[in-house]
Amino acid sequence: MPARADRILKAEGGRRKAAKSPKPPLSAFRLLLSAFCLLLSALSAAAEAPGGKAGPRPALWVDSDTVSIPEPARKFDTLHYDFFYATFGQAPRSFVGRLGAKQPAWNVNAWEEVPDSTWYTNRHPLHPMTAEQVARGANQHNGPDLSGRLAVLEGKTAGTSLGFGRTRDSAGNVYFIKFDSAEYPELTTASEVIAARFFHALGFHVPQEWIIYVRPEQIEIDPQATIWDKNGRQRKMTRADVEEVLKGSARAPDGRYRAVASLLLPGRVKGGFRFHGTSRDDPNDLIPHQHRRELRGLRLLSAWLNHYDIRPGNTMDTYVEQDGRKFLRHYLLDFGSALGSASYFPKTPRMGFSYVWDTREMGNPFLTLGIYQPRWREHPAGVKFPSVGRFESEMFSPHLWKPVLPLVAFDYMDNADAFWAAKLVMSFTEEQVRAAVREGQLSDRQAEEYLVRTLLERQRKVGWHGFLVSAPLDGFRLGKIVGGEQALMFDDLALKYGFAEPAGTYYVHTFSRFGEAGYLGRPRSFRGHSIPLDELMKWAGPGGDPKAVFTLAIAARRAEPEFEERWVKVYLGREAGAFRLLGWERD
Amino acid sequence: MRAPLRLASTLLAVLAAPHLLPAQPPPEQRIIDVEAAERAKKTEHSFRAWQAPLLPFLVFGKAMEKGFIAVDRNHLLEKAQYYVSEHERGFKPLFGGLGIGTGFALGVEYYRNDFLRRGGRIGIPLRASTLLYQDYGIDLSLPVDSGQCVFFDANAHYRVRSQDDFFGLGNDSRAGARTSYMLQSRQFSFGPRFELTRRLRFHARFGYNSTSVFDGKDARFPAITARFARNQIPGLRSGARLWAGEASLIHDTRDVPGRPRSGGYHRLEVGRHQSGGSNEYGFWRYRAEAERYLPLGSRNRVLALRFLGITNQADGASAVPFFEQVILGGSSTLRGFREFRFYDTSGVMMSAEYRYNLNAYADMVLFVDQGQVARQPGDFSWSGLRTGYGGGLRFLNQAGTPFKILLGRSNEGTRIYFSLGGTF
C-alpha cells in the first residue's frame, strides 16, 4: 500500500475512533422526541412496505403502468390552496420525512436507475444524446405554421405572463402562446425553451415548444373566442384584448413579437399531480409520489435549472391512448420561471433560497434579532443581463435550494436519489449545454455566454454535492482482466469529473454471502477500477446454491477530506462457475 | 374448407414444435410488489382510526380546497379586486377607517373620479362599526392648475363616536377611573393644498366643527358624567362649536411611505380654534412631528425614530375642550397603555422602534415608547414620562403594512394590539 494511502488509512482510523466516543445520555426530551418520531414513522410506514425490500432489486427497465384505466375526473389546482396546504397542512408529513428513517425510493431497478414509465423515460445519458438531440428536445416537427394567420381561440386563463390561451396555426395545430414583457425582452421565452430542452433530456415528459416571431396582423380572433378579463368576467374576446397583450410585450426592431409556442399536449387534460401520495382514480398509480426517485431527484434537477415554480399547478396529467390502451401520462409544464426568470420579470433575490413562507428561513433572523440575515438577502445577486434575469452560481447551494412551496417528494430525497440526480446533471457536456442554451435564441452573445458559464458552474456544484453524499462509484460490470480472470469493473465519477485526485484515491472492498458477515475480516484495499473475482469465487464455491446472492461492498477513500467513506453494495450471483451481476445498491 | 385445414395444420405444427409459436409479448411487470402496493394505496385513501382526532382539520382542509378551487375557477379574486378598486365612478366597499378601538368597521363609498375636471374626485363615504361608531360625509378634491400641483380640498362629515374612553385629565390620571363618553360631531372644512415639490407639501384648512358630548355606550364602565362633574372638564357640559384655521408644512423623504427603510417624515402645523359667538374656547395649536428611518448596515434592519409634540395654548380665560386636547395611549401613540389613556392640553411622545426583516412579507418589531401630557410644555419632566415597550409583527405587502400585531407592556399591564395599516 502506498505511503500516502497508509497515512489516509491511519487518519481515517483515527477519525472513526474519535467518532466512537461515548454518547451523552438521552435526556427526557430526546427520549420523548424519539418516541414521537418512532410513532409517526410507524403510523406513516404502515402503508409503506412494497419498496423497502433489501437485496437485489428487480432487473426491469420498464415499469408497466400503462394498463387501460377508466377516464379519471378532471382535477383542478389552485396556487392559493397549494400554498396553504404545502406550507401548513403538509408540515407533519415533511417533518416525518426529514426526521424519520427515510425509505429508499421504490421505483429503482437493479442498477440504481429509474425504469421507464408514464412518469419518466430514460434518455441521456443512458441512451446518449447528441447536442443536436438535446437542442431539439421533445419537438417532433418544426413548430407552428406561420405562413398564415394565428387564430386565438381563448384568452390566457392561468399564470401571470403575457400571452394567449389556445391558439390555432394555419396547419390546424393548437398552441399556447407566451410573450416576453417589454421591460425584459427574451427573458421568459428563452427560459421556457431552454429549461424544457434540459428537462426533456433529463427524462421527463414536457410539451413541444418553439420560439416564434409573429407580426400583429397575423393574430386574429376566432369568433367563438372568450376571455376572462382582469375584472373576473368572461366575455367575448376583442381586438382590444390582443392589443392589450401586445402593448405590454417586447417587440423586436423589425416590428415582430417574439413568443414561445407550446403545442397542446396529446390526450385529455386531467390536471396536475401532487408530490406525495397516490391518485385515487388512477389504478396504475401505485407508488406514492414521495417514493418516486424521479420526483425526489427532481429537487436537484430543478435546483440546477433554478426551476423555482415547480409545484402541482405546473404539472399536468393527460389521459392518452396508445396501442389501444388508455392511461394517464404525467408532464412537467411551464418553465417560464426557470433560470433567471420569474415569469415576465427577473427572479427576486429570495427565489431559490426561500419558500414563499419559510418558517425555518425566518428563524435565524428572529432568534438573532435580525443581526443574522442570509447572504442572499444582505447582498443579493444583481441582474447582469435583462434577457437572463437573476441567475447566479456563487451563492447557489444545491442542497439548500428551495422551490416556491415545500414539496414532500423533495423532502424525501435521500443520498442515493441525490447521487442519481447529480449523475444526470453531470452527464451533460459543455457542448450539450451550449446547444440547449442556443435554443433560447438570445440576441446578446455575452448574455448567452454568461448563461452557459453559470449553468456549468451550477452543474459542478450539483455534481459535487451528489458525489459527496453518496459513493460516486457507478457503471459496475463484469469483464476479464489480464490472464482471463473474471473481474468486477466500475467507474469512479468523482475522478471522471475531476472532483478528486486519482493519486490520492484508493478503494476498499468486503465480500460476503448476502445477509451474513464478510469473510475478509477488515476491508481489503486496492487501486484501479477492477476487482479480480477468482479468489472470491473460491470462497463462494462455484458449485453451491445457484440462487445464492453475494455482496461485494466497495468504498472509495480519498485524500480530499470532504469525501467521507460511503459504500456501494454490488450483488452477485453464480452461473456456470462464474459470477453474474445482479445489481447494486447505495448505502 | 380451407379454414379447418389451416387450423388442423397449425395444431399439428404446435404439437410437433411448440417453440415455433409466435413470440408472446413479455409479461408486464411492475417494479414494486403490486399486491402490497395496492394494499398500501387502499390504506392511504381510507379513513384510519388514528386520524379521528384530525377529522375537523381534514374536513376543514377539504372545504378549503373546494373553496379555493371555486374561487380560482370563477375568478372571484379578480372580481373582488374589481369591486374594491376605483374606476371612473361607482361604489366601493370600505374596511376600517374609523380609528383605533372602534370595532370592526364596514362601509361603502360612492365615488367619481375626474369630477368636474381631470384629476378631480368626489367621494361620499358611509361607514359604521360593530361598536356603533359612524361616519357619513362627502369629500371633494379638485386640482386647480393643469400641472396638478395645487388642489382645492373640501369635506363635510357627520360623525358619532359612541364609546371613547376618558380617565381624567393629566399625566397622573388613574387607570381605574375609566369612563365612557360619546361624541357627535358635524364638521366641514375646505382649503388649498400645494404640492410644492415631490417631497414638500403645504396644506391650509378652514372649517367649522360642532361637537356634542353624551354619556358613552360602553356598559362595562361608568358614563363620564357619573364620575366627572360637567363643569370640571372643559367641553363636557355642552360640547363645543369651533371655527378652525390650520396650516401645515410636510416634508416627506421616505423611500416607500407605507414601509419606509430610509428617509424621514417631518411636519409642522399651526392652527387657531375659536368658539363662535363667545370666548369660552379659543386656543392656538402647535404641532411638530418628525420620523426618521435609519438603516443599520442593511435595508433589512431599520431603526425608526419618532417624535411628536403638541401644545394647545388657550387665550386668557378660555379653555381647550377635552376632546380637542392631546390624547396619548394605544397602538398609534403610547403603546403598552390603553387607547385614550392620557388627556391634557400639551403632550410629547417619543418612539424608538427596531425593525428587522424576517422575510418578504413580515418584519419583526421591538419598540420603546415614552410620553407624557401636561398643561404647559414647561411642566414636562423626565420623571413624568410614561414608558411602554414591547414587540410584534408587521405584515407587509409591496405598498405598505396592511396589518400588524403588537404586544405592549407598561406599568399598567400588557396589551395586545391588532391594527390595520399604520405607517410608523
> Do the chains contact at A231 and B82, CB–CB below 8 Å?
yes
CB B356 within 8 A of CB A365: yes
Burial class from Cβ neighbours inside 10 Å (0-12, 13-18, 19+) for residue A545 reads exposed
Mutation target to probe the A interface, by most A beta carbons within 10 A, among B31, B47, B81 is: B31
Please tell me the predicted confidence (pLDDT) of residue A421.
98
- Looking at the DSSP bridge assignments, the partners of residue A175 are A167, A263
Interchain proximity A350–B359, CB inside 8 Å: yes
**B203 and chain A in contact, CB less than 8 A:** no
Checking if the pLDDT of A34 tops 80, the result is no
- How far apart CA B28 and CA A39 sit, in angstroms, is 37
For B360, the grid coordinates are: 418578504
The contacts of residue A237 (CB under 8 Å, 6+ apart) are A152, A154, A155, A221, A222, A225, A226, A227
Residue B16's pLDDT band, with cuts at 50, 70 and 90, is very low
**Is residue B296 within 8 Å of residue B308, measured between CB atoms?**
no
Tens of pLDDT, residues A38-68: 444 444 444 444 554 578 999 999 999 999 9
Q: Shortest CB distance from B31 goes to which of A47, A63, A362?
A: A63
User: 3-class SS at B145?
Assistant: coil
Same domain, A427 and A304: yes
Cα A237 to the chain's mean position, in Å? 39
d(Cα B402, Cα B396) in Å, to the nearest integer? Answer: 6
A531 lies in the same domain as A555: yes
Is A386 in a helix, a strand, or coil? coil
Nearest to B37 among A76, A286, A348 (CB): A286
Do A452 and A508 lie in one domain? The reply is no
pLDDT in tens, A192-227: 999 999 999 999 999 999 999 999 999 999 999 999
Give the three-state DSSP class for B144.
coil
Q: What is the ipTM, given to two decimal places?
A: 0.85
pLDDT tens, position by position, A447-498: 999 999 999 999 999 999 999 999 999 999 999 988 889 999 999 999 999 9
Using CA atoms, how far residue A133 sits from A120, A479, B304, B325, in Å, is 17, 31, 58, 79
Cα(A403)–Cα(B403) distance, rounded to whole angstroms? 27
Q: Which residue in A205, A207, A215 sits closest to A166, CA to CA? A: A207
> Which fold does the domain B149-420 belong to in CATH?
Porin (2.40.160)
Residues 6 or more apart in contact with residue A262 via CB below 8 angstroms: A175, A176, A178, A192, A207, A208, A209
Report how far residue A65's alpha carbon sits from residue A55's, in angstroms, rounded to the nearest whole number. Answer: 24
Looking at residue A13, its pLDDT comes to: 37
DSSP label at residue A86:
I
Q: Identify all chain A residues contacting B45, using CB atoms and an 8 Å cutoff.
A: 278, 280
More reliable by pLDDT, A546 or B150: B150
Q: How many CB atoms lie within 10 A of CB B344?
A: 24
Residue of chain A minimizing CA distance to B68: A81
Residue A170 phi, psi (nearest 5): -70, -20
Could you give the dihedral angle defined by the CA atoms of residues B78, B79, B80 and B81, in that order, rounded to the nearest 10 degrees? 50
- Determine the residue type at A13: G
CA neighbours within 13 Å on the CB side: how many for B78? 15
Chain A hits for B72, Cβ within 8 Å: 76, 78-80
Alpha-carbon distance of A341 to A191, in angstroms, equals: 7
pLDDT in tens, A271-330: 999 999 999 999 999 999 999 999 999 999 999 999 999 999 999 999 999 999 999 999
Residue with cell 428611518: B293
CA-CA distance, B240 to B185, in Å (whole number)?
A: 9
Q: What is the pLDDT of residue A542?
A: 75
Give the pairing type, strands B89-95 and B105-113. Answer: antiparallel
Contact state of B300 with A51 under an 8 Å Cβ cutoff: no
Q: Which residue blocks in A505-547 are alpha helix, DSSP H? A: 534-540
Looking at chain B, the whole-number percentage of residues with pLDDT higher than 90 is 68
Asked if residue A40 belongs to a domain, the reply is no
Lookup: cell for A347: 427572479
Cβ atoms A523, A557 nearer than 8 A: no
- Per-window interface: B 278-307 vs A, CB < 8 A: 298, 300-301
Domain extent at residue A377: 58-470
Residue A80: band (very low, low, confident or very high) from pLDDT cuts 50, 70, 90: confident
- Check B358 against A366: CB less than 8 A apart: yes
Top-confidence residue, A152 or A5? A152
Handedness of CA A275, A276, A281, A287 (dihedral sign): positive
Cα B301 to Cα A281, A350, B363, distances in angstroms = 51, 17, 9
Query: In this structure, what CATH number is given to the domain that contains residue A507?
Result: 2.60.40.10
Between chains, do A106 and B32 touch, taking CB under 8 Å as contact?
Answer: yes
At B224, list the grid cell.
363620564
* Cβ pair B43:A350 closer than 8 A: no
Same domain, A259 and A161: yes
Instruction: Inform me whether the C-beta atom of residue B78 falls under 8 Å from chain A C-beta atoms.
Output: yes
Domain-embedded: residue A15: no
Least confident of A106-110, B1-5, B272-276: B1-5
- Could you tell me if residue A333 is inside a domain? yes
**Cα–Cα distance for residue pair B392/B408, rounded to 1 Å:** 8
The last residue of a domain, from among A449, A470, A491? A470
Among the candidates A421, A447, A470, a domain finishes at A470
Q: Which of A422, A451, A470 is the last residue of a domain?
A: A470
Give pLDDT tens digits for A368-391: 998 888 888 888 899 999 999 999
Written as one string, the DSSP assignment of B321-385 is -GGGSEEE-STTSSTTS-TT-EEESEEEEEEEEEEEEEETTEEEEEEEEEEEEESSGGG--GGG-
Residues A520, A502: one domain?
Answer: yes
Mean predicted confidence (pLDDT) in A248-255: 92
With 50 as the cut, is the pLDDT of residue B335 above it? yes
Tell me the shortest Cα–Cα distance from B77 to chain A, in angstroms. Answer: 7
Answer whether B361 sits within 8 Å of A358, measured CB to CB: no
Of the candidates A566, A578, A301, which has an alpha carbon nearest to the alpha carbon of residue A413?
A: A301
Q: Is residue A90 part of a domain?
A: yes
CB-CB: which of A81, A108, A362 is closest to B359?
Answer: A362
Do the beta carbons of residue A488 and residue A570 sit within 8 Å?
yes
Pair A398, A492 in one domain: no
- Shared domain for A448 and A494, answered yes or no, is no
Total number of domains constituting chain A = 2
Q: Is B60 on the interface with A (CB under 8 A)?
A: no
Residue A541 phi/psi, 5° resolution?
A: 80, 115
Chain A CB within 8 Å of residue B364 CB: yes
pLDDT, position A100: 61
Give B40's contacts in chain A (Cβ within 8 Å).
Answer: 47-50, 286, 288
d(CA B89, CA B111): 5
Q: Is A458 exposed, middle or buried (0-12, 13-18, 19+ CB in 10 A)?
A: buried
Q: Is the pLDDT of residue A71 over 60?
A: yes
pLDDT in tens, B249-269: 999 999 988 888 899 999 999
In a domain, A39, yes or no: no
Contact B362 A369 (CB under 8 A): no
Same-domain pairing of A338 and A465: yes
Q: Tell me the C-alpha distance between A569 and A503, whole Å.
A: 24
C-alpha cell at B65: 380546497
Per-residue three-class SS string for B146-213: CCCCEEEEEEEEEEEEEEEEECCECCCCCHHHCEEEEEEEEEEEEEEEEECCCCEEEEEEEEEEEEEE
* Average of per-residue pLDDT values in chain A: 88
Per-residue pLDDT averaged across A409-427, rounded? 95
Are A336 and A380 members of one domain?
yes
Strands B121-129 and B105-113, how do they pair? antiparallel
Instruction: Print the SS3 string covering B377-402.
Output: HHHCCHHHCEEEEEEEEEECCCCCCC
Find chain A residues with C-beta within 8 A of B81's C-beta. 230-232
Select from A84, A97, A414, A166 the least CA-distant residue to B71.
Answer: A84
Structure confidence at residue B28 (pLDDT): 78
**Domain residue extents for chain B:** 149-420
Instruction: Report whether B141 contacts B156 (CB < 8 A).
Output: no
Q: The cell 378652525 sits on which residue?
A: B244
How does DSSP assign A132-174, residue by residue? HHHHHTT--S-----SS-EEEEEB--SSSSSEEEEEE-TTS-E
Long-range contact pairs involving B143-152 (C-beta distance under 8 Å, separation at least 24): B143/B117, B143/B118, B143/B119, B144/B192, B148/B119, B148/B195, B149/B194, B149/B195, B149/B196, B150/B192, B150/B193, B150/B194, B150/B195, B151/B192, B151/B193, B151/B194, B151/B195, B152/B190, B152/B191, B152/B192, B152/B193
Q: Work out the average pLDDT over B45-71.
A: 89
User: Contacts of residue A377 in chain B, CB cutoff 8 Å?
Assistant: 300, 357
CA A402 to chain centre: 13
Q: CB–CB of A366 and B45 under 8 A? A: no
Q: A442-451: which pairs have CB atoms within 8 A and are 24 or more residues apart?
A: A442/A186, A442/A190, A442/A387, A442/A388, A443/A186, A443/A387, A444/A385, A444/A387, A446/A385, A447/A384, A447/A385, A447/A387, A447/A388, A450/A384, A450/A385, A450/A388, A451/A194, A451/A339, A451/A385, A451/A388, A451/A391
Question: Is residue A558 a contact partner of residue A505, using CB atoms and an 8 Å limit?
Answer: yes
User: Is there a contact between A76 and B72 if contact means CB atoms under 8 Å apart?
Assistant: yes
Residue of B nearest to A47 (CA): B40
| Shortest CA distance from B41: residue in chain A | A286
**Would you say residue A5 has pLDDT above 50?**
no
* Residue of A236, A102, A245, A243 lying closest to A181 (CA atoms): A245
Mean pLDDT lowest among A81-95, A228-242, A554-568: A81-95
Closest CA to B335 of B307, B368, B308, B309: B368
Residues A457 and A498 in one domain: no
pLDDT over threshold 60, residue B23: no
Instruction: Tell me, yes or no, whether A23 lies in a domain.
Output: no
pLDDT band at A503 (very low <50, low <70, confident <90, very high): very high
Give the minimum alpha-carbon distance from B172 to chain A in angstroms, rounded to a whole number: 35
Instruction: Using DSSP, state whether A480 is helix, strand or coil.
Output: strand
- Whether B354 sits inside 8 A of A85 (CB atoms) is no
Same domain for A379 and A489: no
In a domain, A185, yes or no: yes
Spell out which residues of chain A touch residue B31, defining contact as CB-CB under 8 Å: 57-58, 60, 63, 106-109, 115, 287
Residues A203 and A226 in one domain: yes
Task: Return the C-alpha cell found at B12.
Answer: 399439428
